[in-house]
Chain A
Amino acid sequence: MTKSKGYSAKIAKSKSGVTHVAIASFALLLLATFCVKLDSQEKNPFAGEPKAIKLGEFQFRSNCAFCHGLGGRGGGRGLDLTRAKKRHGSTDAEMFHNIHEGIAGTAMPAAVGSIGVGMTDEEIWQVIAYLRSIQANASSEPVGDAKHGKELFGGASGCSMCHMIQGKGGRLGPDLSGTGAARSTEYIVDSIRYPSRRLAQGLTEPTKEFAQEYETVTVVTADGQKYMGVVLNEDQFTLQMLDMREQLHLLEKGKLKSFEKKRESLMPAYDQKMLSEKDVQDLVAFLQEVSEQ
């Protein structure tokens, strides 16, 4: 809020052609009201303005893309912002509030004094104008059958053996309760078809997608026990892993007979034979539906 001055100046300038005293006074009164209510106003004053959209894109790069990815398609920890329906509110006012104040209980920080270079109110509205512009181009509304997706998830496809949703499911893969809102349809489809293409990604630890990277590890202990599973954590000398039966193993690397870590997912690559295009869309629809609850 400390930099709302620039915004008032802009509005004032646009009124500079008005000469009639009464109208000018009325305009000033309006302006004052407008400024006071800047962060609670309902509509974006720059909506659809090409220049504001471009400026918003630059602001987005410098402030938001660390987590939300270039183009707002979801990156490390940030949600896919190309979807019209946003988990924490989709109206201009809600989006302004979320950017300005941050979102409590999530990794989303306030606009000033955290990640990036910080934004004035004016710049926040520019970012919203930009987000609207990329949202219009996105084709990420669910087209699948969420009910069938749910059946697949819990049954034939075996997803829930490793993935948890709302407290139910397995532990070998990431909890997918929020993934539907966090990732674009393309990203989720890609992750189902080619799970090893990318594991957790992020510039730094705080912006990573998940706390764990879900790398695959296979070890043989000194007494000949072989365990395969996912890495929960490791350092130079120790390994904390979960095996396929979800048993926790706390190991010293130096005492292992063998240690092999792969930057590949344990998840099978679901090709067309295992999941048809429709099935995949149904799963996506389910994930999106769940994430909005």
Chain B
Amino acid sequence: MRGGTLIIEIEERFLDSAGRSVAGAAGKKKRRPAPLGMTVAVRVTWILFAVFVLFASSLSAQVTPQRLLDSAKEPQNWLMYSGDYEGKRYSGLDQINVANVGNLAAKWVYQTAATGKFETTPIVVDGVMYGTGQDDRAFALDARSGRPIWMYQRTLPGDIRPCCGRVNRGVAILGDNVFLGTLDAHLIALDAKTGNVIWDQTTADYRKGYSITLAPLVIKNLVLIGVSGGEYGIRGFIDAYDANTGERKWRFNTVPSPGEQGIETWEGDSWKIGGAPAWITGTYDARTNITYWTTGNPSPSNRGEGRAGDNLYSNCLLALDVDTGKMKWFFQFTKHDEHDWDATQVPVMVDQGEKQLIVQANRNGFFYVVDRTNGKLISSNPYAKITWSKAKDAEGRPVALKEASPTLEGNRVCPGAAGATNWMSPTYNPQTKLFYVSAREQCDIFSTAPQPYEEGHAFYGSAYFPNDDAQPFWGALRAIDPETGEKKWEFKHVSPTWAGVLSTAGGLVFTADAEGNFIALGAASGKVLWHFQCGGAGIAGPMSYAVDGKQYVAIAAGSALFTFGLL
């Protein structure tokens, strides 16, 4: 709201977070004349107070749904997990650029004092940074100095079921609240100024294997989340909650039940434990009021026996109506998956002229371009080594080879269990028109083993092993042209990284490696321009923001959050 008038700003203060009905009332309040019979002194005091309120409000205007929609207009702020609704992870800031990035230096470091994987992408709103740490802690920091404003620690039960670490990827914000999903499957609204709990909603029973690790997505007055738990035989869902009250407004079950479309893709009762978790934040197209979400593996992840069929809506891109949660269409990347190739990569919205697309470098090794108005596949090209498919169906979708299925003895397949990429966020840079993704080159030996389902108990039906190849696995940052699916350049990592990628208007891409380096490269050239050793692997997505006219770049690495600025 930097360019807004004072009238708009005072109205903002009285808007409800949906930005609807209260606006008129606020306007009336503003127009109300000073009470009659006031002395001059009282009048002056009243005016001064009004001016103070106006000034204060302009310092930290509330985050409205409109601000979230117009995030590109305030590049100094990073208002949501991917930076914008399109999932681009692109910063419009260019103060740090190709010419001066060599002068980047550490400005401050925030230690979470927690162990485990630190996967947060912090958000920044008007000089305040909000992030999450391992074990479901949330914090607010002075984004200039890193000094904590508050810290909230969720008290987690001892018997939570996180499949892959006690991780959390970040918060969302609306109004004066930040929203945190927890490993015991709660969604919590915290007061952005104090960290106090405003409301606490149970989304599912964690004892059955449900957890939340993603950063929620706020659209209008709704807080959207998806769940993790594909390793526990859950039945996945995507939920929307009222941002003011925490009341659930809708639920989309990612596995249909009898009577619903898609149930025919499940054998017997297998739908009940079908998995299909939605554990990465979705995107949103306001023009069509559609939110795009992606889903993970059917359960058990590496054993298809007992769940014959395509297993909808596992490993899918879903187009949901924001207001109702009703599905408009779906696109399934991997049918009847037996390799744990979750489609849980941020579905990035890219426009090419008239074409409105979703692009995704999928865990199965293919780079997909989908028409986001109807879910039709436009192209699919490998961006990493794949051995599981040699043909495509009539729609152009890669078809799995029968012999790629896991066996009792073990079967070598590329990509491996961690995939050709994983959850690490990619970036799309509208300047270079390139898509950048952290790719993995690893093949694994997939073996399967029958395992009975038991509620709340890990349920893989499998195990996988390093292959016996002489070469170790490796990784690379790859720049892909979505128009052609071609690789424009690659930057090889010593070992595969779990870090996401940020691109900026300064002609840069930022990523981190497993050896602890935070690295800046030329977005067009792929050349390293700067690096810093953080002392711990970066397994999070970088982001950028500005305060007082100074641009910063931040990344979680090891157990600390590092922030860099120009010398």
A and B associate in one complex: yes
Which residues of A line the B interface, CB within 8 A?
57-59, 61-63, 65-66, 69-70, 75-76, 116-118, 196-199, 201-203, 213, 234-237, 263
- Whether A117 touches B531, Cβ cut-off 8 Å, given contacts A198-B470, A235-B516, is no
Inter-chain CA distance A199–B514, complex, in Å, is: 20
A116 and B468 contact, CB distance less than 8 A: no
Inter-chain CA distance A110–B460, complex, in Å, is: 19
Residues of B within 8 A of A235 (CB): 494, 513, 515-517, 533
The minimal Cβ–Cβ distance linking A54 to chain B, given in whole angstroms, is 9
Inter-chain CA distance A63–B409, complex, in Å, is: 16
Which residues of B line the A interface, CB within 8 A?
409-410, 444-445, 447, 449-451, 457-460, 462-466, 468, 470-472, 493-494, 513, 515-517, 519, 528, 531, 533
Residues of B within 8 A of A203 (CB): 444, 464-466
A236 and B517 contact, CB distance less than 8 A: yes
Other-chain residue from B447, B459, B464, B493 in contact with A236 (beta carbon distance below 8 A): B493
Inter-chain CA distance A236–B409, complex, in Å, is: 37
The minimal Cβ–Cβ distance linking B231 to chain A, given in whole angstroms, is 8
A-B contact pairs, 22 of them (CB 8 A): A57-B449, A58-B449, A59-B449, A61-B463, A63-B463, A65-B465, A66-B463, A66-B465, A69-B465, A70-B445, A70-B465, A118-B457, A197-B470, A198-B470, A199-B472, A201-B466, A201-B468, A203-B466, A213-B472, A236-B517, A237-B517, A237-B533
A70 and B470 contact, CB distance less than 8 A: no
Residues of A within 8 A of B517 (CB): 235-237
Residues of A within 8 A of B410 (CB): 70
B516 and A62 contact, CB distance less than 8 A: no
Sample of 18 more A-B contacts, CB < 8 Å, known A61-B462, A62-B451, A237-B533: A58-B450, A58-B451, A61-B449, A66-B463, A69-B465, A70-B410, A70-B445, A75-B466, A117-B451, A117-B458, A118-B457, A197-B470, A199-B470, A202-B466, A203-B466, A236-B515, A236-B517, A263-B472
Closest to B467 in A: A201
- Whether A117 touches B460, Cβ cut-off 8 Å, given contacts A65-B465, A234-B494, is yes
Residues of B within 8 A of A237 (CB): 517, 531, 533
B494 and A263 contact, CB distance less than 8 A: no
The minimal Cβ–Cβ distance linking B1 to chain A, given in whole angstroms, is 42
Closest to A113 in B: B159
Residues of B within 8 A of A58 (CB): 449-451
The minimal Cβ–Cβ distance linking A52 to chain B, given in whole angstroms, is 14
Residues of A within 8 A of B472 (CB): 199, 213, 263
B457 and A75 contact, CB distance less than 8 A: no
The minimal Cβ–Cβ distance linking B165 to chain A, given in whole angstroms, is 12
Residues of B within 8 A of A263 (CB): 470-472
Among A65, A69, A118, A198, the one with the most B-chain Cβ atoms within 10 Å of its Cβ is A65
The 4 closest A-B pairs by CB, nearest first: A235-B515, A117-B458, A58-B449, A61-B449
- Whether A76 touches B466, Cβ cut-off 8 Å, given contacts A235-B494, A235-B513, is yes
Q: How many A-B residue pairs have CB under 8 A?
A: 74
- Whether A62 touches B449, Cβ cut-off 8 Å, given contacts A117-B459, A118-B457, A263-B472, is yes
B465 and A62 contact, CB distance less than 8 A: no
A236 and B449 contact, CB distance less than 8 A: no
Residues of A within 8 A of B457 (CB): 117-118
Inter-chain CA distance A131–B151, complex, in Å, is: 49
Inter-chain CA distance A263–B462, complex, in Å, is: 30
Residues of A within 8 A of B462 (CB): 61-62
A236 and B451 contact, CB distance less than 8 A: no
Closest to B470 in A: A263
Inter-chain CA distance A213–B517, complex, in Å, is: 20
Inter-chain CA distance A75–B451, complex, in Å, is: 23
The minimal Cβ–Cβ distance linking A59 to chain B, given in whole angstroms, is 8
Inter-chain CA distance A268–B505, complex, in Å, is: 53
Among B444, B463, B494, B515, the one with the most A-chain Cβ atoms within 10 Å of its Cβ is B463
The minimal Cβ–Cβ distance linking B500 to chain A, given in whole angstroms, is 17
Inter-chain CA distance A65–B410, complex, in Å, is: 12
Inter-chain CA distance A117–B531, complex, in Å, is: 39
Inter-chain CA distance A197–B447, complex, in Å, is: 23
Residues of A within 8 A of B465 (CB): 65-66, 69-70, 75, 203
Residues of A within 8 A of B458 (CB): 116-118
The minimal Cβ–Cβ distance linking B115 to chain A, given in whole angstroms, is 14
Residues of A within 8 A of B466 (CB): 75-76, 201-203
Residues of B within 8 A of A75 (CB): 465-466
Residues of A within 8 A of B464 (CB): 203
Inter-chain CA distance A234–B533, complex, in Å, is: 12
Residues of A within 8 A of B470 (CB): 196-199, 263
Residues of A within 8 A of B447 (CB): 61, 65, 70
The minimal Cβ–Cβ distance linking B334 to chain A, given in whole angstroms, is 22
Among B409, B459, B465, B528, the one with the most A-chain Cβ atoms within 10 Å of its Cβ is B465
Inter-chain CA distance A254–B98, complex, in Å, is: 20
A236 and B460 contact, CB distance less than 8 A: no
Residues of A within 8 A of B445 (CB): 70
Residues of A within 8 A of B444 (CB): 203
Other-chain residue from A65, A196, A199 in contact with B463 (beta carbon distance below 8 A): A65
Inter-chain CA distance A116–B463, complex, in Å, is: 8
Inter-chain CA distance A237–B471, complex, in Å, is: 21
Among B447, B472, B513, the one with the most A-chain Cβ atoms within 10 Å of its Cβ is B472
The minimal Cβ–Cβ distance linking A252 to chain B, given in whole angstroms, is 11
Residues of B within 8 A of A62 (CB): 449, 451, 460, 462-463
Closest to B442 in A: A203
Residues of B within 8 A of A76 (CB): 466
The minimal Cβ–Cβ distance linking B160 to chain A, given in whole angstroms, is 11
Closest to A6 in B: B454
Inter-chain CA distance A202–B444, complex, in Å, is: 11
Residues of A within 8 A of B493 (CB): 236
Residues of A within 8 A of B533 (CB): 235, 237
Inter-chain CA distance A62–B494, complex, in Å, is: 29
Inter-chain CA distance A97–B464, complex, in Å, is: 26
Inter-chain CA distance A237–B534, complex, in Å, is: 13
Closest to B463 in A: A61
Residues of A within 8 A of B463 (CB): 61-63, 65-66, 116
The minimal Cβ–Cβ distance linking A254 to chain B, given in whole angstroms, is 9
Inter-chain CA distance A9–B351, complex, in Å, is: 61
Inter-chain CA distance A196–B469, complex, in Å, is: 11
Closest to B519 in A: A236
Closest to B537 in A: A205
Inter-chain CA distance A234–B492, complex, in Å, is: 14
